[in-house]
Amino acid sequence: GGLTVKKEFAVIGLGRFGGSIVRTLAEEGLGVLAIDANEDRVNEFARIASHSVVGDTTDESVLRNIGIRNFDHVIVAIGENIQASILTTLMLKELGVSNVTVKAQNDYHEKVLRKIGADFVVHPERDMGRRIAHNIGSNNILDYLELSDEHSIVEIVASQKMNGNSIFDLDIRAHYGLNIVAIKRGNEINVSPQANDLIHKGDILIVIGADSDINRFEKKIV
Ligand code: ADP
């Protein structure tokens, strides 16, 4: 093992989203600087974050005075004010912050953020909406993690049709281009399923692949 250097995080914007990131990082014992233009918001996080600062981050001197370039990862969680979010992100990249994660409000915002060099763009409302829709819209899919626009990892409940078949029998890799990466049965999880492992009705299969293939497979097995 090499030398472990503790990462330093900064969160700009202490609304519901940014606030939740600050709380979680702090709970995990990680150093986090909390920044907001609103003093009341900053006061709310003064005891939670390792440091807190009142400041408008669209002002470049505010970012410089904080020493923002010394942070390993900066999260821009400015909500409604898209212009402030874009300007802040642009300056963070210009100042040389290597990891900048930004919350996007909509697809246009996301497009601009990517163009100006945001390293990670998150879209929590849209993504959570999709996730919930997938979870409630299917009887067989329990959970779902989007890997790209076209690929996901899903948890599928094994149907009666699959009961007693081995992974080899189902041959979903050849038929659907999908891979079963794990099988959950009660409290047990098999993280390296073999071709001759039998599937029982009610097992939870963790499957990775293209969304279109997952849909095809789901229709077939129910
Ligand atoms: P959420 O949807 O996550 O609750 P909000 O819009 O409520 O987000 O919160 C965004 C936060 O970002 C607010 O606390 C606001 O004061 C802060 N903020 C907005 N513009 C700036 C800025 N230019 N500099 C610093 N903080 C800002």
pLDDT tens digits, residue range 74-93?
Answer: 999 998 999 999 999 999 99
CA-nearest residue, atom 6 of ligand 1: 79
Domain 127-221 fold: Alpha-Beta Plaits (3.30.70)
> Which residues have any ligand 1 atom within 6 Å of their CB?
12-18, 36-38, 41, 56-58, 77-81, 84
Q: Does domain 8-122 have CATH number 2.40.50.250?
A: no
Task: Give Rg (Cα) of the chain.
Answer: 22
Gap from CA of 47 to ligand 1 centroid (Å):
19
Distance 15 CA to ligand 1 centre (A): 6
What pLDDT score does 118 carry? 97
Confidence of residue 4 (pLDDT cuts 50, 70, 90): low
Q: What is the ipTM of this complex?
A: 0.95
The minimum-distance atom of ligand 1 relative to the CA of 62 is 24
Q: Which phi and psi (to 5°) does residue 153 adopt?
A: -115, 130
Which amino acid is it at 158? A
> Hey, is 160 helix, strand or coil?
helix
CA of 96 to the centre of ligand 1 (A): 23
Provide the residue ranges of all domains of the chain, joining segments of one domain with +: 8-122, 127-221
pLDDT tens digit sequence for 158-199: 999 999 999 989 888 999 999 999 999 999 999 999 999 999
Q: What does the pLDDT look like over 31-53, one tens digit per residue?
A: 999 999 999 999 999 999 999 99
Confidence of residue 3 (pLDDT cuts 50, 70, 90): low
Residue 1 pLDDT: 41
